[in-house]
Amino acid sequence: MKEISVNRDPVELRKMLDYLGVAAFVIDVVSADEFRLAANNARHEKLTGMKLDEVAGRSLTELLSPEMEARVKANYRRCVTSKAATDYQEALDLPIGRTFWQTSLVPFIDETGRVTRLLGTAYEISHQVHLELESRYQSTVMSAYLDESTDGILVVDADWRIKTWNRRFLEIWNIPEAIMDARDGEAALQAVAEQLEHPASFVQRIRELCASLGEKEDGVHIRMTDGRVLERYSRGLNGLEGDYWGRIWFYRDVTEMQRMTDKLLNMSQTDPLTGIANRRTLMDALEEEYRRARRYGHDLSVLMLDLDHFKKINDSYGHAAGDAVLKEFASIVMPEIRASDCFARMGGEEFAILLPESSLHSARLLADRLRSIVETLACDSPQGLIGVTVSIGVSVLRNTDTSPEHLVGRADRCLYAAKAEGRNRVRPRGDIEDCENVAPVPVGGSNSLEA
Ligand SMILES: Nc1nc2c(ncn2[C@@H]2O[C@H](COP(=O)(O)OP(=O)(O)OP(=O)(O)O)[C@@H](O)[C@H]2O)c(=O)[nH]1
Q: Look at ligand 1, atom 5, and give the residue with the nearest C-alpha.
A: 348
Question: What are the beta bridge partners of residue 243?
Answer: none
Pocket test for ligand 1, best of 311, 315, 328, 447 (most atoms within 8 A of CB): 311
| DSSP three-state, residue 389 | coil
- Higher per-residue confidence, 9 vs 326: 326
Confidence class of residue 441 from pLDDT cuts 50, 70 and 90?
A: low
Which pLDDT does position 439 carry in this prediction? 63
Pocket test for ligand 1, best of 278, 328, 349, 351 (most atoms within 8 A of CB): 349
Cα of 349 from ligand 1 centre, angstroms: 5
Q: Look at ligand 1, atom 31, and give the residue with the nearest C-alpha.
A: 348
End-to-end alpha-carbon separation of the chain, Å? 103
Give residue ranges with CB within 6 A of ligand 1: 273, 306-311, 314, 319, 322-323, 326, 348-349, 419, 423, 446
Cα of 284 from ligand 1 centre, angstroms: 25
Whole-angstrom distance, CA of residue 158 vs CA of residue 400: 61
Q: Look at ligand 1, atom 6, and give the residue with the nearest C-alpha.
A: 348
Cα of 287 from ligand 1 centre, angstroms: 27
Write out pLDDT tens, residues 55-68: 999 999 999 899 99
- Taking domain 10-129, whether its CATH number is 3.30.1280.10 is answered by no
Cα of 348 from ligand 1 centre, angstroms: 6
Cα of 312 from ligand 1 centre, angstroms: 8
* Residues 6+ positions from 53 with CB-CB distance below 8 Å: 10
Return the percentage of the chain with pLDDT > 70, whole number.
95
H or E segment to which residue 404 belongs: helix 404-420
Write out pLDDT tens, residues 71-81: 999 999 999 99
**Closest atom of ligand 1 relative to the 423 alpha carbon:** 25
* Domain ranges, ordered by start, for the chain: 10-129, 149-257, 271-427
**Closest atom of ligand 1 relative to the 307 alpha carbon:** 20
Confidence class of residue 38 from pLDDT cuts 50, 70 and 90?
A: very high
Report the CATH architecture of 149-257.
Answer: 2-Layer Sandwich (3.30)
- Is the previous residue joined to 428 through a cis bond, with omega within 30 degrees of 0? yes
Q: Regarding the domain delimited by 271-427, which CATH topology (the fold level of the hierarchy) does it fall under? A: Alpha-Beta Plaits (3.30.70)
Cα of 237 from ligand 1 centre, angstroms: 64
48: left (phi over 0), alpha (psi -120 to 50) or beta: alpha
**Closest atom of ligand 1 relative to the 314 alpha carbon:** 1
Write the CA distances from 92 to 72, 96, 125, 178, integer angstroms. Answer: 9, 10, 11, 47
Whole-angstrom distance, CA of residue 349 vs CA of residue 447: 10
Q: Are 165 and 171 spatial neighbours (Cβ–Cβ below 8 Å)?
A: no
Which pLDDT does position 98 carry in this prediction? 87
Q: Look at ligand 1, atom 8, and give the residue with the nearest C-alpha.
A: 348
Predicted TM-score (pTM) of the model is: 0.61
**Closest atom of ligand 1 relative to the 347 alpha carbon:** 6
- Residues 367-387: what's their mean pLDDT? 92
Residues noted as catalytic: 349
Q: Look at ligand 1, atom 11, and give the residue with the nearest C-alpha.
A: 311
ipTM of the complex: 0.96
**Closest atom of ligand 1 relative to the 273 alpha carbon:** 31
Q: Letter for the amino acid at 55? A: V
Which residues of 273-363 form beta strands (DSSP E)? Answer: 277-278, 300-307, 342-347, 350-356
Q: Mean pLDDT lowest for which of 20-34, 152-166, 205-219?
A: 205-219
- The distance from CA 133 to its chain's CA centroid, rounded to whole angstroms, is 31
On the 0-12 / 13-18 / 19+ scale of CB atoms within 10 A, 226 is exposed
Whole-angstrom distance, CA of residue 104 vs CA of residue 10: 20
Whole-angstrom distance, CA of residue 414 vs CA of residue 12: 119
Domain 10-129 and domain 149-257 have a common topology? yes
